Structure 1
Amino acid sequence: MYDNDTQLESLLIVITAPTSQIGRQVLDGLLAADEKLRVVARDPARLPDRARNRVEIVQGSHGDPAVVDRAFAGADTVFWLAPPNPRADSVEAAYLDFTRPACEAFARHGVQRVVGISALGRGTPQAEHAGLVTASLAMDDMIASSGVHYRALTMPSFMDNILNQTDVLNSGVLTSPMSGERSAPVCATRDIAGAAAALLGDDSWTGNGSVPVLGPEDLSFRDMAGIISEVLARPIDFQRISGETLRENLNGHGMSEAMAQGMVDMMLAKNDGLDNAEPRTPESTTPTSFRQWCEEVLKPADTR
């Protein structure tokens, strides 16, 4: 017998990609909540010290059928993040082929709930030819069809992606194929992780649906360049580049032709309003402003 304050057995939550930008913050949130956790990690040595003695570890790729078969046995809820694969042969391979073994394991082991990282745009004309976004939305459909209860966290571009643009800090130039005047939502990965952790720790929701994470405001690239300039106390310019230039830059950094084209198609769809179709609500408005993110994340990364 047990009283109302004691569960017979804690729910087991599995976290994929626990050392990724979002996954590590999800892990932090669930460790703080003292949840029962299992993680799937290619390199367990990259896990934070505070996690290693508190979580069960399954080593390997969560795209491997044998690995997910072990990882999802006895699991109640799974955090799903398809990792970046810049050298994939196609966007379908990066999202659908990678996720298919997991969907089979969800069904085989009776996993109840999955929370996944996805993108805005479902039901819009722009999403039909939006590269990475199109594949991500197809991945959502595959997961939902496995029989689990599913929540797709749907996001615009991440503030944190600016950290990947070395020209911003080194040369003072923010670049994109998007118009400098196109205002759109932008969100911080910390808010995505917070939304994910809240859903993973809640066993009351059912069915399939999306949870938009839109940040607190819409901004253009020129707006963002201005805010970065103020926070770093030096001029940061915005320069619009062509899709072809972006493709060449990505290829130059080792990205496959298919994935580079998928990135270009996504950015052009965003320029056509892909991220603007989702109505902003109090529920989808998340707290971290771009200025706050610049002060707390970008500025400390500036070693100039």
Structure 2
Amino acid sequence: MRIAVTTPGGHVGRHLTRILIRAGVKPLLLTRHPDRVDAELREHVDVVAADSWDADQVVAATRGVDAVYWVNPPSASGDPLADHARATTAIVAAARANGIRRVVFQSSIGAEKRHGAGEIDGLAATEVALDALDIDVTHLRCGYFFTNLTYEVDALRHGTVQTVLPPDAPMAWVAPRDIAEVAATTVLNPDWSGRRVQGVHGPADLSWAEVSSVLTAELGREVHVEQIGDEQMREQMLAAGMPEPMAAAMLGMSTGLRDGFVPEQARSVFSTTPTTLRSWVQEVLVGAV
């Protein structure tokens, strides 16, 4: 099976690439920056320059491909929903033009709402478009990435993290490496077909209050969580230079999943993955903070 991996330098893609290599696969890496692929990987992968927002480039890059691990790249235009739409157009065009029969898509908890979850609405639209192709597709509905805490390093150093979510409200948190392991087993497993949804929920649902307790213990400093209002968060984002469409999309990911939202897939052995927040903080975050 010829397997293509998009965003191979991302939080999930960098782990997935190595897992596939260890499985004996030589993956095809689609990247805008081929020169950034680690030298130690080069004899074990094929690399092609392709922008995942450019349909023509993705079509050309995926000729002869049997399966794709598809990620909509992080927004670069300031309008995340528009960028998700461009990425959706690209993977749909490639699947149609090249007869790609299998796609594993990195989606998110909340995509099942289809509308009203900010940037996650862009992932929902990709799910809908892939479902319409009549191919084998698995949507990985991932929890909140541990790595999002790396964007809070300055706040952690000052001891306070802000959120618009109730501090005691639990939600799924997950390590990107665990997502990569689920992605690898899914793309390599020949025994599924049709449309599937696979929750990737981490080892336990955590509230921000529980997260702050873990951070306090492992970082050796007090970390408090502060709930602030939606408008205050929006104003802070805009003041930091974030374009209005991006601020709205990012805020909507929290507000849209805040009031009574229940994920389509309940936590089970099917969706639970092993890496704990505590172990991830010890491995990754302690050195950064």
| TM-score for the superposition, normalised by structure 2 | 0.94
Match of 1:43 among 22, 33, 37: 33
Kindly report the root-mean-square deviation, in angstroms, between the aligned alpha carbons of the 2 structures: 1.7
1:68 equivalenced with 2:68 (yes/no):
no
- 1:105-154, CA deviations, whole angstroms, 9 ceiling, x for partnerless residues? 11111111100111123555xx5311111221111111221232100100
CA–CA distance in structure 1, aligned partners of residues 103 and 9 of structure 2? 19
2:73 maps to: 83
Any runs of at least 4 consecutive aligned residues in structure 1 with deviations exceeding 4 A, and if so which?
A: none
CA–CA distance in structure 2, aligned partners of residues 36 and 204 of structure 1? 21
Secondary structure of the equivalent of 1:186?
Answer: strand
Aligned-residue offset at 1:89:
3.2
Aligned-residue offset at 1:53:
2.2
- 1:223-244, CA deviations, whole angstroms, 9 ceiling, x for partnerless residues? 1001110011111111112222
CA–CA distance in structure 1, aligned partners of residues 77 and 262 of structure 2? 26
CA–CA distance in structure 2, aligned partners of residues 254 and 201 of structure 1? 42
2:13 maps to: 23
2:192 maps to: 205
Match of 1:145 among 132, 141, 146: 132
- 1:32-76, CA deviations, whole angstroms, 9 ceiling, x for partnerless residues? 112031111111121111222222211131221221122210000
1:12 maps to: 2
1:232 equivalenced with 2:222 (yes/no):
no
User: Which deviates more from structure 2 when the two are superposed, residues 167-176 or residues 185-194?
Assistant: 167-176
CA–CA distance in structure 2, aligned partners of residues 151 and 102 of structure 1? 14
1:101 equivalenced with 2:82 (yes/no):
no
Does structure 2 conserve the Cα–Cα contact (< 8 Å) formed by 1:225 and 1:236? yes
Aligned-residue offset at 1:276:
4.7
Equivalence map 1:104-119=2 (5 Å): 104-119=93-108
CA–CA distance in structure 2, aligned partners of residues 54 and 207 of structure 1? 30
Residues 1:273 and 1:50: Cα distance change in structure 2 (over 3 Å): farther
CA–CA distance in structure 2, aligned partners of residues 278 and 269 of structure 1? 17
**Which residue type is aligned with residue 256 of structure 2?**
A
Match of 1:53 among 20, 40, 43: 43
Residues 1:16 and 1:90: Cα distance change in structure 2 (over 3 Å): closer
- 1:5-35, CA deviations, whole angstroms, 9 ceiling, x for partnerless residues? xxxxxx1100111111111111111111120
1:297 equivalenced with 2:287 (yes/no):
no
Equivalence map 1:265-304=2 (5 Å): 265-274=252-261, 276=263, 278-302=265-289
Match of 1:175 among 145, 154, 162: 162
Number of positions where the alignment pairs a residue of Structure 1 with one of Structure 2: 289
2:23 maps to: 33
Does structure 1 conserve the Cα–Cα contact (< 8 Å) formed by 2:53 and 2:83? no
2:171 maps to: 184
CA–CA distance in structure 2, aligned partners of residues 141 and 150 of structure 1? 11
1:263 maps to: 250
Structure 1, unmatched stretches of 5+, are 1-10
- 1:207-253, CA deviations, whole angstroms, 9 ceiling, x for partnerless residues? 01110011111111011001110011111111112222332333344
Does structure 1 conserve the Cα–Cα contact (< 8 Å) formed by 2:111 and 2:123? no
Structure 2, unmatched stretches of 5+, are none
| TM-score for the superposition, normalised by structure 1 | 0.89
Does structure 2 conserve the Cα–Cα contact (< 8 Å) formed by 1:107 and 1:148? no
CA–CA distance in structure 2, aligned partners of residues 52 and 250 of structure 1? 39
Does structure 2 conserve the Cα–Cα contact (< 8 Å) formed by 1:182 and 1:220? yes
CA–CA distance in structure 2, aligned partners of residues 296 and 246 of structure 1? 30
1:5 maps to: none
User: Which deviates more from structure 2 when the two are superposed, residues 272-281 or residues 234-243?
Assistant: 272-281
CA–CA distance in structure 2, aligned partners of residues 106 and 143 of structure 1? 9
Aligned-residue offset at 1:275:
5.4
CA–CA distance in structure 2, aligned partners of residues 218 and 56 of structure 1? 38
CA–CA distance in structure 2, aligned partners of residues 102 and 167 of structure 1? 36
Residues 1:36 and 1:147: Cα distance change in structure 2 (over 3 Å): farther
1:132 equivalenced with 2:119 (yes/no):
yes
